[in-house]
């Protein structure tokens, strides 16, 4: 196996990232998107997020095999110290530690920025229901990385003719102090 490297995403990566993301849209309830975005839309997303936050890709032998990024948890100024994360791995490369490695890099970058609350929004199937579109693996993955459940919304998303819950998970990266220092942009913190 070739060495895996992690680097910052650039808009030119959009097509490769969409190749990873599209099956999650079409075949799973992991994401609540219905339609695969265009390459131009995905380039816009990369540019917009990268203006302030880390957007990372993992490569093996020059091929992108996964990505992770952080985005604002909420647009209000008082929530500047909180981000929401996303990670997607090439389906042939899952369960090999790549998600953990991407999250470790993401967490390191966020800590340097001054981010305190690292949030993850995870889709969840109904209890007792065998679901061909969604497993409980994502919650287990986040728990393994030190996240804890902080909220559970019932029947919040509909996809494939089924209703799904959302579980909010959180990992604290720093201490909540009065008057925290302003966060830095990802570029400023490098």
May I ask the CATH class of domain 4-185? alpha beta
Cα gap 119→171, rounded to integer Å = 7
Choose among 114, 99, 116, 87: nearest CA to 24: 87
* Count of beta carbons in the 10 Å neighbourhood of residue 185: 13
Element (H, E) at 8: strand 4-8
3-state secondary structure of 162: strand
Name the average pLDDT for the chain: 95
**Torsions phi, psi of 110, nearest 5?**
-65, -40
DSSP secondary structure, 138-154, as one string: HHHHHHHTT-EEEEEEE
pLDDT tens string, the chain, 190 residues long: the values are 579 999 999 999 999 999 999 999 999 999 999 999 999 999 999 999 999 999 999 999 999 999 999 999 999 999 999 999 999 999 988 877 899 999 999 999 999 999 999 999 999 998 767 899 999 999 999 999 999 999 999 999 999 999 999 999 999 999 999 999 999 999 999 8
3-state secondary structure of 52: coil
What pLDDT is stored for residue 96 in this prediction? Answer: 77
| Per-residue pLDDT tens digits for 126-138 | 876 789 999 999 9
What pLDDT is stored for residue 14 in this prediction? Answer: 98
> What is this structure's pTM?
0.95
Domains of the chain: which residue ranges? Answer: 4-185
What pLDDT is stored for residue 190 in this prediction? Answer: 82
What pLDDT is stored for residue 95 in this prediction? Answer: 78
Return the half-sphere exposure (C-beta side, CA atoms, 13 A cut-off) of residue 167.
19
């Amino acid at each position: 196996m070739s060495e895996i490297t992690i680097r910052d995403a650039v808009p030119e990566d959009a097509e490769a990232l969409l190749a990873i993301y599209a099956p999650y849209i079409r075949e799973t309830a992991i994401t609540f998107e219905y339609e695969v975005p265009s390459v131009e839309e995905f380039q816009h997303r990369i540019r917009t997020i990268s203006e302030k936050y880390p957007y990372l890709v993992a490569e093996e032998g020059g091929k992108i095999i996964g990505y992770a990024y952080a985005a604002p948890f909420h647009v209000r100024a008082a929530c500047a110290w909180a981000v929401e994360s996303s990670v997607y791995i090439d389906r042939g490369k899952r369960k090999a530690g790549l998600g953990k490695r991407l999250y470790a890099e993401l967490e390191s970058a966020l800590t340097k920025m001054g981010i305190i609350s690292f949030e993850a929004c995870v889709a969840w199937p109904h209890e007792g229901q065998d679901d061909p579109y969604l497993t409980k693996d994502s919650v287990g993955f986040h728990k393994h990385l030190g996240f804890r459940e902080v909220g559970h919304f019932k029947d919040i998303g509909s996809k494939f003719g089924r209703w799904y819950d959302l579980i909010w998970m959180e990992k604290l990266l720093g201490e909540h102090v009065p008057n925290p220092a302003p966060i830095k942009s990802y570029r400023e913190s490098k």
